[in-house]
Amino acid sequence: MSKLVQGYEVVIGFETHAQLSTKSKIFSRASVAFGAEPNTQACAVDMALPGTLPVMNIGAVERAIEFGLAINAHIAERSIFARKNYFYPDLPKGYQISQFEIPVVQGGEVSFFLEVGKETVRKTVRLERAHLEEDAGKSLHEDFIGQSGIDLNRAGTPLLEIVTQPDMRSSEEAVAYAKELHKIVTWIGICDGNMQEGSFRCDANVSVRKPGGELGTRREIKNLNSFKFMQQAIDYEVRWQIDQIEDGHAIQQATVLFDPDTGETRAMRTKEDAADYRYFPDPDLPPLVIGRDWVERVKGEMAELPRVMAERFVKDYALPEYDATQLTQSKAVAAYFEATAKACGQPKLASNWIMGEVSRRLNASEMAIEQAPVSAAQLAALIGRISDNTISNNAARQVFEGLWNGEGPSGSEGDVDALIEAKGLKQMNDTGELEKIIDDVLAANPKNVEEFKAGNAKALNGLVGPIMKASKGKANPGQVNALLMKKLR
């Protein structure tokens, strides 16, 4: 099911750094709060002063366990911290503490829906691992002339690096994966997901090959911090690699950066191999031991996972799998749906409205559902008025529009009836009840029907009269005519 680009298959694997939402750092007590004055949140451990020792933050481990459970991975009973050695000014120890040979989270998978043409298909991306590590500091180049500054506030910030198998086959799949992963980590609350602040950054490993051939050489696009750039960067990279190969050049393994201003990727450095880092177990930290009881305890304390909730929606509300997945995009959307469905007793209609009118308007105004001007109670009341035939679907859309624009006086579900009244939308001017009345009148007046069919146009009046009467004058005459003609022809 791979989509080929100029006869090439695209292969993508992701490495994502999710900053864990602990209060303090992974191996020290310094705060991880964002935006502090440089070097005000770096303690002796973060500055690598001699004689200091790292102490594992239990909160970071717990978040790694939560992630492993969320993606159905194996949680290692014993994992090892390693030193990844490299020289860089923002890394005062000269090594980063990470996990190498034995990571804490092993395997697992992330699956999501994808629109392919007119179809929605489910795609599953296998994860290789997720490991705990510390972030490095930051070099500051902008405020200095002929010098660089170092800010160690970020040094020691806890990260979970989440690595996939090379399972994605297009930029669309890659973005859909990243969005799903983002949903999972924010849902379970292990990461705030703020991409601008760097709490969730993705590296995309991209290669191309002729279908069925061996994996091509990859280039790694570093630090993609928006879904839009992610798509642009991968699309550019794919075209660039194909052009190179078509021109007879081999791809060199490299780390590249995406420049949003030019829309291009540029090589930063040729890529190190694992051997260059001289990994070895960190003698300052004992193995990380996680017993089954700890895993069970964490499991018991976790909120319902999105995929579990989606399964429940399918079962309890008889929703299609696609709807259930869309409605579990965030806890807030799911809560809005459940409140609406419970209040109106029509889950599928609730789903249609939320995935249609509601999300269209939210998207158009870049609003979160928490800010939606139409409450779940109001939407439920509106759906109730469609099902009891008080208003047509069209009229309901007008009422919805009114509610959305703040025309409802109180913000309560009572506004729905008030607006229907005020807009004069209460009907019988549509199908449903009106059609039933017409059918009854036709059945009761066979003579008029016969005469009309024989060519006597005036016989129609003998039918319209009783219909208007039966509808207590609420039927729309134009519509009565149209419906009558349809039924008589």
Per CB under 6 A, 106 contacts ligand ADP: no
**C-alpha torsion sign, points 15, 237, 7, 244:** negative
Shorter beta-carbon distance to ligand ADP: residue 164 or 392: 164
Q: Which residue of 72, 165, 352, 476 would you call a contact of ligand ADP, by CB under 6 A?
A: 165
How far apart, in whole angstroms, are the C-alpha atoms of residue 164 and residue 177? 10
22 binds, among ligand ADP, Mg ion, none (CB under 5 to 8 A by kind): none
303 binds, among ligand ADP, Mg ion, none (CB under 5 to 8 A by kind): none
DSSP characters over 425-478: --SSSSTTHHHHHHHHHHHH-HHHHHHHHTT-GGGGHHHHHHHHHHTTT-S-HH
Shorter beta-carbon distance to Mg ion: residue 15 or 77: 15
Closest-approach residue to ligand ADP (CB): 13
Shortest distance, position 363 Cβ to Mg ion, whole Å: 33
Closest-approach residue to Mg ion (CB): 15
Per CB under 6 A, 107 contacts ligand ADP: no
Per CB under 6 A, 13 contacts ligand ADP: yes
Shortest distance, position 384 Cβ to ligand ADP, whole Å: 49
352 binds, among ligand ADP, Mg ion, none (CB under 5 to 8 A by kind): none
| Class of residue 113 by CB neighbours under 10 A (exposed 0-12, middle 13-18, buried 19+) | middle
68 binds, among Mg ion, ligand ADP, none (CB under 5 to 8 A by kind): none
Per CB under 6 A, 163 contacts ligand ADP: yes
Buried b (16+ CB within 10 A) or exposed e, 384-400: bbbeeebbbeebbbebb
Q: Are 134 and 144 in contact (CB under 8 A)?
A: no
Shortest distance, position 272 Cβ to ligand ADP, whole Å: 7
Q: Which stretch binds ligand ADP (CB under 6 A): 12-20, 114-122, 278-286, 357-365?
A: 12-20
Q: Which residue of 8, 9, 14, 27 would you call a contact of ligand ADP, by CB under 6 A?
A: 14
How far apart, in whole angstroms, are the C-alpha atoms of residue 337 and residue 351? 7
How far apart, in whole angstroms, are the C-alpha atoms of residue 335 and residue 311? 15
Q: Are 274 and 283 in contact (CB under 8 A)?
A: no
How far apart, in whole angstroms, are the C-alpha atoms of residue 194 and residue 196? 6
Which parts of 192-251 interact with ligand ADP (CB under 6 A)?
205-207, 215-216, 218
Shorter beta-carbon distance to ligand ADP: residue 168 or 425: 168
Shorter beta-carbon distance to ligand ADP: residue 100 or 229: 100
Residues engaged in binding Mg ion (CB under 5 A): 15
Per CB under 6 A, 15 contacts ligand ADP: yes
What DSSP element (H or E) covers 81?
none
Six token digits for residue 245: 């190969």
Rg (CA), the chain: 30
Shortest distance, position 253 Cβ to ligand ADP, whole Å: 9
Q: Are 177 and 207 in contact (CB under 8 A)?
A: no
Q: Which stretch binds ligand ADP (CB under 6 A): 6-14, 74-82, 455-463, 467-475?
A: 6-14
**Binding footprint of ligand ADP on the chain (CB under 6 A):** 11-15, 163-166, 205-207, 215-216, 218
